[in-house]
Chain A
Amino acid sequence: MLKTFPKGGIHPHENKITSSKAIKRLAPPKVVYVPISQHIGIPSKIIVERKEKVKIGQVIAKSGGYISSNIHSPVAGTVTKLDKFFDSSGYKKQCIVIRTDAKDKSNFEEIDLPLLTEIKLSEKDILQHITDYGIVGLGGATFPSHVKLNIQKDKNIDCLIINGVECEPYLTADHRLMLEKAEEIIVGIQILMFALHIEKAIIGIENNKKNAIENFKELTKNNHKIKVAALKIKYPQGSEKQLVRALLKREVPKNGLPLDVGVIVHNVGTIFAIYEAVQHNKSLTERAVTVTGKKIKDPSNFWVKIGTPVIDLINEVGGLPEDTRKILNGGPMMGKAIKNTNVPITKGTSGILVISEEEAERKKSSNCIRCGECVFVCPMGLEPHLLMNLTEKRMFENAFNEDIMTCIECGSCSYVCPSHRPLLDYIRFGKSIIKTLEFAKDKK
């Protein structure tokens, strides 16, 4: 019997059509749009000026506070504009526009970094590297990694969990990364275990990626500290709290973090970025992105420079199909539709999904029939129908008492609702309002 989390969950169609496609490196785009707010927390501060020449990996925006991150130039070129452009949030945000220098060779060099297994840096230096090279959580939440790794002494951490679940349908970037960069990821895990003095690590992978599981099992045969665990296929297993429950049977308290039960969770992509930052002094300027969709001619996985406009990637996979209705930044469950095709790839973009007319059509919502499906599938044990009713009637305090703030916004409730009610839309709305209200601040 494979491990999984007990409460709720769904199993949408996987559609992982790109799982056999190796991650290709793209030619650098002509222009990159680098938003200064690619992570959770304070936006970074721009430290370059217009017409300034920048090199690959040069810091162009400095961390704006503790929960913030450095941003590096993904290409060598010239800063042409500092202006506001639409990013994946749906609003115009401050971006640094860099025109790639076509004559600069460093833009076109094939970077094939050798595997370095020996850890030379001290614990302190490792954490400094992670801070300096702008590493954030690449699973999608983009929480700055150095904050996650800066653990107070009274917390006792005994386990590191590597999140290779990738439970979102369509996306395969993490899967390919685990196949192609498995050795580097193992070194990355060892770096973190050494830096934080953790004795145990578990790599959690869903059972639809059997080759990745076997690959890791083979590599960790002689290493009893790192375990590989196959997990039952269930959405949203890639969520931190659900993964900790599935692997260790530990319940993360509400409003708490995995840290509270002695666990640190990192995505495989983040681990690979940490490996590159620590061993090769490479800043986070590119990431693996899946570009996919049922009508796309040649869906594939790519190494993409941060700031590449989405249209460049879509042209690479055979152009936009005619009946395209939506382009999602992320997977079909949690991804967000983007406003135009010039929206840049950021540190949090794990995939670009092109959805056709008939798939995208949202059905007309009708009244709640009290079937209880949403309650049944909610992985956090909430009552989505109730939360929606309360926020619709603006009874925010009641919604707060019903633990609306613990919702992880996985969208399982909206997915199963037979009346097609916009449950998650209203829950998100309620959460955003409650964050601004006084009583919630007091109770927290």
Chain B
Amino acid sequence: MTVSIIYSVLLLTSLGIIAAIILYLVSKKFYVYEDPLITEVEEILPAANCAGCGSPGCRSFAEKLVGTEDISDLFCPVGGNDVMKSIANLLGKEVAEKDPTVAVLLCQGSCDMRPKTTQFQGPDSCAISALVFSGETDCQYGCLGKGDCVESCLFDAMYMDKETGLPVIITDSCTSCGACVEACPKNIIEMRPKNKRDLKIYVGCMNEDKGGIAKKACAVACIGCSKCFDVCPKDAITMENNLAYIDPYLCTLCRKCVDVCPTHSIIETNFPPKKKKTLPIPSKEKKIKVIVEPLNSNNDA
């Protein structure tokens, strides 16, 4: 009895020792050196694995950051300048500073503005719809409204507005990873710099048709009249294929173009309402009340 117990204990112990020796030798033989910096960098990165940087995930981006000498081309759009700076401090390399960007939808063709002339019965997918035809409306450049971009968004920064039939981008949640830009078959989502207080002016239209045809298909289409082009003091607006485009880096947000646009296809976001619109309204008691909103209070969140 005791002998058999001793035997089995000895056998298992010796087996354990042999296995430990083999494991030790193998781990020595096949040892792979991994820079401990990679794990450290990965911990700084936002761990969203969104592929917005061009690498398939945060780990491989960290490897790239540690491995390459010059990392000024690499940028994590989700983490932004803060994350890149702390990585640069850790690695002792230099990074380029980029303005934070945000996705904007270059289409205002809601159901009221852009009436549907046909109906698509196929699967709910913009990509498949785009394969079959130009879309349910007469505008062949605008939003198809099937929500491929919403599906591609990993950060819940988009939703479909059922009333307008267009996707809405929640600017605060948008990390500008660019997944929606890739998902859109009509290329109507653009990354534009998120200026101070998220002030943006852009042409919300991609219609390259001639004015009359564009206007017939959609009430808020850019008709290529060049009025904004003429009024712009900084030459930030270019006209190409009957379509205006505002260069965000030249635009000084003066809002002159917004006023002249006859079809209201130039969108301004988060600006305080203009003083013109809040002219003194005579009330019934004929007391004059002036409504002036403080300039900086609005939409700062």
The 0/1 profile, CB within 8 Å of A marked 1, for residues 43-67 of chain B is 0000000000000000000000000
B131 x A422 contact (CB < 8 A): no
A426 x B123 contact (CB < 8 A): yes
Other A-B pairs, 9, CB within 8 Å; known A91-B134, A429-B127, A429-B128: A92-B209, A339-B118, A360-B121, A362-B121, A422-B123, A422-B128, A426-B123, A432-B131, A433-B127
Residue of B nearest to A338 (CB): B133
- Which A residues are CB-close (under 8 A) to B140? 91-92
The residue from B117, B125, B134 contacting A90, defined by CB atoms under 8 A apart: B134
The 0/1 profile, CB within 8 Å of B marked 1, for residues 126-170 of chain A is 000000000000000000000000000000000000000000000
Q: Does B132 contact A (CB under 8 A)?
A: yes
The number of residues on chain B lying at the interface, defined by a beta carbon within 8 Å of a beta carbon of chain A, is: 14
Q: Does B122 contact A (CB under 8 A)?
A: yes
A429 x B133 contact (CB < 8 A): no
The 0/1 profile, CB within 8 Å of A marked 1, for residues 105-129 of chain B is 0000000000001100111010110
Q: Smallest distance from the beta carbon of B169 to chain A beta carbons, Å?
A: 23
Residue of B nearest to A92 (CB): B140
- Which B residues are CB-close (under 8 A) to A433? 127
B133 x A425 contact (CB < 8 A): no
A-B pairs, 8 with minimum CB distance: A90-B133, A362-B121, A422-B123, A91-B134, A429-B128, A425-B122, A425-B128, A425-B123
A92 x B131 contact (CB < 8 A): no
B133 x A422 contact (CB < 8 A): no
Bound CA span A380–B70, Å: 52
Bound CA span A92–B134, Å: 8
Given A340-B117, A429-B127, does the pair A90, B132 have CB atoms closer than 8 Å? yes
Residue of A nearest to B120 (CB): A337
The 0/1 profile, CB within 8 Å of A marked 1, for residues 198-233 of chain B is 000000000001000000000000000000000000
CB neighbors of A among B134-175 (8 A): 134, 140
- Which B residues are CB-close (under 8 A) to A340? 117-118
Bound CA span A339–B134, Å: 9
Which A residues contact B (CB, under 8 angstroms)? 84, 86, 89-92, 336-337, 339-340, 360-362, 365, 422, 425-426, 428-429, 432-433
- Which B residues are CB-close (under 8 A) to A89? 133
Q: Smallest distance from the beta carbon of A321 to chain B beta carbons, Å?
A: 18
- Which A residues are CB-close (under 8 A) to B123? 365, 422, 425-426
Q: List the count of A-B residue pairs having beta carbons below 8 Å apart.
A: 44
28 A-B residue pairs with Cβ-Cβ distance under 8 Å, sorted by A, are: A84-B209, A89-B133, A90-B132, A91-B133, A91-B134, A91-B140, A92-B134, A92-B140, A336-B132, A339-B117, A339-B133, A339-B134, A340-B117, A340-B118, A360-B121, A361-B121, A362-B121, A362-B122, A365-B123, A422-B122, A422-B123, A425-B128, A425-B132, A426-B123, A428-B128, A428-B131, A429-B131, A432-B131
A429 x B134 contact (CB < 8 A): no
Residue of A nearest to B121 (CB): A362
Bound CA span A429–B148, Å: 14
- Which A residues are CB-close (under 8 A) to B133? 89-91, 337, 339
- Which B residues are CB-close (under 8 A) to A336? 132
- Which B residues are CB-close (under 8 A) to A91? 133-134, 140
Most B-side CB within 10 Å, residue of A86, A360, A429? A429
Q: Smallest distance from the beta carbon of A388 to chain B beta carbons, Å?
A: 10
Bound CA span A84–B207, Å: 13
B134 x A86 contact (CB < 8 A): yes
Q: Smallest distance from the beta carbon of A392 to chain B beta carbons, Å?
A: 9
- Which A residues are CB-close (under 8 A) to B121? 360-362
Residue of B nearest to A431 (CB): B131
Bound CA span A433–B128, Å: 11
Residue of B nearest to A363 (CB): B121
- Which A residues are CB-close (under 8 A) to B131? 428-429, 432
- Which B residues are CB-close (under 8 A) to A422? 122-123, 128
Q: Smallest distance from the beta carbon of A19 to chain B beta carbons, Å?
A: 30
Bound CA span A340–B216, Å: 15
Bound CA span A41–B209, Å: 25
Bound CA span A425–B120, Å: 12
Residue of A nearest to B123 (CB): A422
Bound CA span A428–B132, Å: 10
- Which B residues are CB-close (under 8 A) to A365? 123
Residue of B nearest to A421 (CB): B123
Bound CA span A324–B240, Å: 40
Bound CA span A336–B132, Å: 8
Bound CA span A340–B135, Å: 12
Q: Smallest distance from the beta carbon of A239 to chain B beta carbons, Å?
A: 21
- Which B residues are CB-close (under 8 A) to A337? 118, 132-133
- Which A residues are CB-close (under 8 A) to B209? 84, 92
Bound CA span A430–B209, Å: 30
Bound CA span A163–B127, Å: 34
B128 x A426 contact (CB < 8 A): yes
Residue of B nearest to A433 (CB): B127
Q: Smallest distance from the beta carbon of B124 to chain A beta carbons, Å?
A: 10
Bound CA span A429–B131, Å: 7
Bound CA span A336–B131, Å: 12
Residue of B nearest to A361 (CB): B121
Q: Smallest distance from the beta carbon of B56 to chain A beta carbons, Å?
A: 14
Q: Smallest distance from the beta carbon of A40 to chain B beta carbons, Å?
A: 17
Bound CA span A91–B133, Å: 6
